Structure 1
């Protein structure tokens, strides 16, 4: 369950105060570069980072894609079990698989995990309507990563 904290808006700065719903949880495990499990309000939930896509490592038909293991390892280094995170929702709360859709911030440092994955070349922007409040932020981060030939932009 998400808690209402403010009004909606078009945020391009990565500031969670301008979005609609926020909740706090504790990381339990990381499945791959863009999916992890957490405990929130006594319940275990699977979270899909929105606005991006990391190369696959466990997809049944795609196999392991270029830079997938590196993306997964980086996400595991950011979202260590026990890490407190803030989840910020966009227009939709869940995807067709029942996973929570969220922008994720490290609670202690305010690092915007979704943006960092793109900025450092571990993910590409994946604007999927209607969850596009950070579309411009993510496009800028990808431009920066491409220009610097970071991560997948240098290898794939």
Structure 2
């Protein structure tokens, strides 16, 4: 009897540790896709390409830097700013402007890489933190991005249009101001 109680406690503690690790590395509202954090790097922002792509200089340690590395924000998709409808362009530009405001050139950030290798388009996948704020999650919370973990993008236009409608009602932008 005593041995089974000890085993149960041991198993329970192990599950708690695993759960804590899982909570720390996933985007809060999308727990079924936990991020596998392989490396955490200090980095410097070079420029923002669009709402979910940036160029960083990674400090890899030992006074070595990987310069001008393209990085895609993991777990999200922002509307395209090239092609598409005026509505999707508008929400894409709003997302880009928000990211530019949060990550100006020269800003110091923390990049938590996913898989620590480049994806199919030659970009690192990462969660980006600046001043304790996780940019990936903030874009989702502010409805400037939609969840995306690879694979089919079926239904993404409808989700981007729903975000556009949300921001149009809020008065976040004027459609004719930027397009």
TM-score higher than 0.5:
yes
Match of 1:48 in 2: 72
Gaps of 5+ in 2: 1-17, 29-35, 59-64, 152-161, 169-179
Matched, 1:27 2:45: yes
Aligned 8 A contact 1:56 1:63 in 2: no
Quote how far apart the aligned CAs of 1:43 are: 1.5
Q: 1:63 to 1:36 in 2, by over 3 A?
A: farther
**Retained in 2: the 8 A contact 1:14–1:112?**
no
User: Which structure is larger by alpha-carbon Rg, 1 or 2?
Assistant: 2
C-alpha RMSD of the superposition: 2.8
Contact in 1 for aligned 2:27/2:75 (Cα 8 Å) = no
TM norm structure 1: 0.68
Number of the residue aligned with 1:101: 125
The structure carrying a bigger helix percent of its residues is: 2
In structure 2, the partner of 1:113 is 135
Matched with 1:81 is 105
Task: Kindly state the Cα deviation for residue 111 of structure 1 after the two structures are TM-superposed.
Answer: 0.6
Under a length normalisation based on structure 2, what TM-score does the superposition of the two structures give?
0.60
Alpha-carbon deviations, 1:27-76, whole Å to 9, x = none? 01101000011112151101100100001103xx5365251110111111
* Aligned residue pair count: 123
